[in-house]
Amino acid sequence: MKKGSAIVIAFLAGVWMAAAAAQAATVDRIVAAVNNDIITENELESAFALVRKRIEASYKGPDMEKVIAEGRLQVLSRMIDGKLIEQRAARQGLTVRDEDVMATIKDLLGKRNIQMEDFLKTLEREGSNFDAYKREIRDQMIRMRLLRREVRLGILVTDEEIGDYYVKNRADYEGKESFRIKQILLLAPEDQERARRTKRLSEAVSIHKRLKDGESFDLLAAQFSQGPAAASGGDIGFVEAGTMLPEVDREAARLKIDEISEVIASPVGFHIIKVLDKRGGGNKPIEAIREEIKTKLEDEKMEKKYEQWIADLRKQSRIEIKALTAP
């Protein structure tokens, strides 16, 4: 499967999984009606819980309640879109065989070098189980098939478009060495009291040990990182040498591809990084990056087409949003 659109990745980053886990909760106040389906307050708050924790940990401004309310509305909007996609897939009779679900799970674990036994322990620690995870993967596969059929189908990128993009963005493919990294960051400013910084260091060491024992960097980043892109496994993309904190920059330059660093202390806290790729200085010929540019342009077109597709789906549907309380 290709990288896919940012929209699809956003769905897979946790909103649907949290909503699915909430279905067993006691049904209480309805916060939205989507055609013949409903979303309850319990489901919304379960889906919003992780987002809320990140807002409370990272936002230090005076409008905390406003930011939390806006975040809750964004999560509800994504849940509504999820319901619409589920309904569309059901009307088209899209299904996925159990053996295909298991094959996908085994492929995902294999790519991340995770043993099934270790993965089951991780699910247990997170309060989930394998049956729930299988249901979520099945639902994701059905949604992806629908989106490929109705959104990606017909998207074409010509050689002329690839060439024009390369000419206009040549600077992106030349210059200083850059690193694509994943990061787990535990915030602990140097001016913080010593005991709290020491506690953060101990937590970072514990996470590092779990990584060395084979646990997924993506899952641990989503669970613990307070840095950018935590929900997508801490992948912050390519960063040019010299633009990161010096301590992190030096370690990124030293590491080999797919190697995980030791715990790195910096003025802002403690970092663990994994280098996914490196790009050297100089200019890359278009032949070397044709597929990369093609995928990027396809993703951009797909995102635009998705936005129109989901807007049309909303117009064709009965959607009612109730007033939200502020728990």
Query: From first to last of its 327 residues, what are the pLDDT tens digits of the chain?
Result: 444 444 443 444 444 444 444 444 444 799 999 999 999 999 898 888 878 888 888 888 889 999 999 999 999 998 999 899 989 999 999 888 999 999 999 998 888 888 999 889 888 887 778 888 888 888 888 888 888 888 888 899 999 999 999 889 887 776 568 899 999 999 988 887 888 889 999 999 999 999 998 889 999 998 899 988 887 788 998 898 888 999 999 999 899 999 999 999 999 999 999 999 987 666 677 887 899 999 999 989 988 999 999 999 999 999 999 877 655
CA–CA distance from 263 to each of 179, 218, 241, 271, 283 (Å)? 18, 17, 19, 6, 33
CATH of domain 6-155+296-321: 1.10.4030.10
What CATH topology corresponds to 175-279?
Answer: Chitinase A; domain 3 (3.10.50)
Residues of CATH 1.10.4030.10 domain(s) within the chain? 6-155+296-321
Q: Which residue has the tokens 């904190």?
A: 245
Report the candidate in 313, 306, 297 with the shortest Cα–Cα distance to residue 10.
306
Contact call for residues 258 and 274 (beta carbons, < 8 A): yes
Residues of CATH 3.10.50.40 domain(s) within the chain? 175-279
H and E: helices and strands count for the chain: 12, 7
Pull the structure tokens for residue 303.
């995102």
Strand positions, DSSP E, 116-260: 178-187, 235-240
pLDDT of residue 17: 46
Q: Which residue has the tokens 């589920």?
A: 86
Whats the size of the chain, residue-wise?
Answer: 327
Phi/psi of residue 228, each to 5°?
Answer: -65, 150
Phi/psi of residue 174, each to 5°?
Answer: -150, 170
Tell me the C-alpha distance between 59 and 230, whole Å: 15
